[in-house]
């Protein structure tokens, strides 16, 4: 049911753990729905120099977290902000429709971590461009 | 020639099932590279079971020489007809019924649909109320929900924390409009065995038809439909080492029930469709073996199950048993592990060759965890971390010990990356 890429990132997740004194943290998801994702970022000169994650969830949630941290490392905050859930899913060579919400969670986690950093810097948090633009592809949403 | 060769290969595979490691008998299941050196440990017998060699042997002639349509008049057809009647008698004997009360169906889901819709529609002039439980299989629950759209009203009895339906609750739920009570014999997820005889006695006292889905119970629990006041009983062959796609519905003589499948006059004009003779023969043979072996089967898998449970609770902190500690199917183990999610557990176990199941949402095709685990009061996050291991005849102590070696590592690996584990301050895994 999962692509080889998803299985690779599930079995060998990249960047598991926490960052001590992170520049920003994004906590998303809900235990009621069966997935919680925490994304930690280290920002230097507007660039994400380190990213780590901790996730409670299914194979797709773990793989999406792993891929998301890989995608944002070395990116400017603007570049990282523009990484969509679709980009995470595509980098994983696709997710089953029912699992697309895991990639949505990853995108939300990145955004929350970036805005957490901006708030700490005394900056206005960035607004979600279009909160309904996620590609859910037939996904159903858990209502805790 | 090719077909015959393949068929013989299959029969030989079944014949050797018990003596040869799974990887040798099922080479097609061993994935190149990843699994080649690993054995397969099958611990999902509540999902389905392998067909016993002697069952497959019994079926073979009915796919070969005795292919006649039992409704025809010539000799080869009579062979088919006789085989069906032998199987009917075997099923009847296994549950304490008369052969004339056994009707073959395509399996558990059809039997449940027939029992519930058939009784409901045949008795709708008497009333429109049905009583069932909150932890039924979807074949019962979704049928009841369909009937609600058709104007019936359904009471879903709650269960206690171990999954038991309370007989006084049943009696209180009965109204003068109640036309059917359907409560499962044993639960497929948590293995809890319901007080069927008591529930049946209450139904009988109020003269209401009582149906039980015994799909998980056959071969694990002795069943006597007369002694237990059961009016309708569903069963399915592939849960007790028979073939898939075949089951039966016991309908007590004199019940008023509509047909579900309309057409030809098969099954005493109650269930149309040319009989699946080979599968029916397989069902008959499998149920005969399952009820004859019930003592050995029970003690064998119960001992393995208990060894597994003890080991899990010893080696893994923050684990709890779901379901009733004693009133449960001998091979069923359902455990929740806090701070982790079931699907990721299954993926890692599969990587080690262990086949298991979970009540987590992530494998159910929805985002809600198992309705059974929620009904026994588990919080969502604990329900998401459940693991069901169901043992079978071919499992060994070595299988159990291998699981006990692998599972603690899998749980720890997932806990180490879980933010819930950190939040609860339980990193380091101190035992409680």
**Are the beta carbons of A34 and B416 separated by less than 8 Å?**
no
ipTM value of the model? 0.91
CB contacts under 8 A, B 36-65 vs A, are none
Provide CATH 3.40.640.10 ranges for chain B. 57-292
Count CB atoms within 10 A of the CB of residue B269: 9
Q: Which residue has the higher pLDDT, B154 or A142?
A: B154
pLDDT band, very low/low/confident/very high, at A134 (cuts 50, 70, 90): low
Highest CATH level, class, for B57-292: alpha beta
Q: Hey, is B1 helix, strand or coil? A: coil
Highest CATH level, class, for B294-421: alpha beta
Q: Are B400 and B392 in contact (CB under 8 A)?
A: no
Instruction: Quickly tell me which residue has 């002639």 as its tokens.
Output: B61
User: Residues A13-28: what's their mean pLDDT?
Assistant: 97
pLDDT band, very low/low/confident/very high, at B21 (cuts 50, 70, 90): very low
> Whole-angstrom Cα distance, residue B384 to residue B369?
6
Each residue's pLDDT tens digit, B75-107:
889 999 999 999 999 999 999 999 999 999 999
Each residue's pLDDT tens digit, B362-395:
555 566 789 999 999 999 989 999 999 999 999 9
Provide, as residue numbers in chain B, all residues whose Cβ is less than 8 Å from the Cβ of A138.
Answer: none
Indicate the fold that domain A4-120 takes in CATH.
Answer: Sufe protein. Chain: A (3.90.1010)
The reply to whether A55 touches chain B by the CB within 8 Å rule is yes
Q: Which residue from A85, A111, A130 is spatially nearest to A26, judged by alpha carbons?
A: A111
For residue A136, pLDDT over 70 is answered with no
Q: A13: nearest CA in chain B?
A: B417
Q: Name which of B367, B368, B418 is nearest A56 (Cβ-Cβ).
A: B418
Q: Name which of B380, B381, B422 is nearest A54 (Cβ-Cβ).
A: B422
CB contacts under 8 A, B 331-350 vs A, are 339-344, 347-348
Each residue's pLDDT tens digit, B153-185:
999 999 999 999 999 999 999 999 999 999 999
Which site among B339, B363, B367, B373 would you substitute to test the A interface, given the most A Cβ atoms closer than 10 Å to its Cβ? B367
- Catalytic residues of B, by residue number, are 362
* Contacts of B226 by beta carbon, 8 Å cutoff, 6+ apart: B96, B97
Q: How far is CA B368 from the centre of its chain?
A: 21
Provide, as residue numbers in chain B, all residues whose Cβ is less than 8 Å from the Cβ of A69.
Answer: none
**Are the beta carbons of B339 and A56 separated by less than 8 Å?**
yes
Provide CATH 3.90.1150.10 ranges for chain B. 294-421
Q: Hey, is B261 helix, strand or coil? A: coil
Is residue A33 flagged as an active site residue? yes
For residue B34, pLDDT over 90 is answered with no
User: Residues B7-22: what's their mean pLDDT?
Assistant: 42
């Amino acid at each position: 049911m999962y692509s080889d890429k998803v299985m690779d990132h599930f079995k060998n997740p990249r960047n598991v753990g926490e960052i001590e004194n992170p520049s920003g943290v994004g906590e998303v998801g809900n235990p009621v729905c069966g997935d919680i994702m925490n994304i930690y970022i280290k920002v230097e000169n507007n660039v994400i120099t380190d990213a780590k994650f901790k996730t409670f969830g299914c194979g797709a949630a773990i793989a999406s977290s792993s891929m998301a941290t890989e995608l944002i490392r070395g990116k400017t905050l603007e570049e990282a902000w523009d990484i969509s859930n679709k980009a995470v899913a595509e980098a994983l060579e696709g997710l089953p429709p029912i699992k697309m919400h895991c990639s949505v969670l990853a995108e939300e986690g990145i955004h929350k971590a970036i805005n957490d950093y901006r708030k700490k810097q005394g900056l206005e948090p960035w607004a979600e461009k279009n909160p309904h633009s996620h590609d859910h592809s037939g996904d159903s949403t858990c209502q805790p | 020639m090719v077909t015959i060769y393949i068929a013989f290969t299959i029969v030989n595979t079944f014949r050797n099932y018990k003596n040869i490691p799974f990887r040798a008998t099922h080479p097609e299941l061993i994935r190149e590279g990843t699994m080649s050196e690993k054995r397969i440990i099958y611990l999902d017998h509540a999902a389905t079971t392998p067909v016993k060699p002697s069952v497959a042997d019994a079926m073979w002639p009915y796919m070969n020489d005795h292919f006649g349509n039992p409704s025809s008049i010539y000799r080869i057809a009579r062979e088919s007809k006789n085989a069906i009647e032998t199987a009917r008698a075997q099923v009847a004997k296994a549950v304490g019924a008369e052969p004339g009360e056994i009707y073959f169906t395509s399996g558990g889901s059809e039997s449940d649909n027939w029992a519930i819709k058939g009784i409901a529609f045949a008795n709708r002039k008497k009333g429109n109320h049905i009583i069932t439980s909150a932890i039924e299989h979807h074949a019962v629950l979704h049928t009841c929900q369909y009937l609600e759209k058709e104007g019936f009203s359904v009471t879903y009895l709650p269960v206690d924390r171990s999954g038991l339906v309370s007989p006084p609750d049943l009696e209180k739920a009965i109204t003068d409009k109640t036309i059917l009570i359907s409560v499962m014999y044993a639960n497929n997820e948590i293995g809890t065995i319901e007080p069927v005889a008591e529930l049946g006695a209450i139904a009988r006292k109020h003269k209401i038809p009582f149906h039980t889905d015994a799909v998980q119970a056959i071969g694990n629990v002795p069943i006597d439909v007369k002694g237990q006041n059961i009016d309708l009983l569903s069963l399915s062959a592939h849960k007790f080492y028979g073939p898939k796609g075949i089951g039966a519905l016991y309908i007590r003589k004199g019940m008023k029930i509509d047909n579900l499948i309309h057409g030809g006059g098969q099954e005493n004009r109650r269930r149309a469709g040319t009989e699946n003779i080979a599968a029916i023969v397989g069902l008959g043979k499998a149920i005969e073996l399952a009820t004859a072996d019930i003592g050995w089967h029970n003690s064998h898998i119960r001992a393995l199950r208990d060894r597994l449970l003890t080991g899990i609770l010893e080696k893994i902190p923050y684990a709890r048993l779901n379901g009733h500690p004693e009133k449960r199917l001998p091979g069923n183990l359902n455990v929740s592990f806090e701070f982790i999610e079931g699907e990721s557990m299954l993926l890692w176990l599969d990587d080690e060759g262990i086949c298991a199941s979970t009540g987590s949402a992530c494998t159910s095709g929805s985002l809600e965890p198992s309705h059974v685990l929620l009904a026994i009061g588990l919080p969502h996050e604990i329900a998401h971390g459940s693991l069901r291991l169901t043992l079978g005849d071919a499992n060994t102590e070595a299988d159990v010990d291998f699981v006990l070696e692998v599972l603690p590592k899998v749980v720890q690996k997932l806990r180490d990356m879980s933010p819930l584990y950190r939040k609860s301050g339980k990193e380091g895994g101190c035992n409680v």
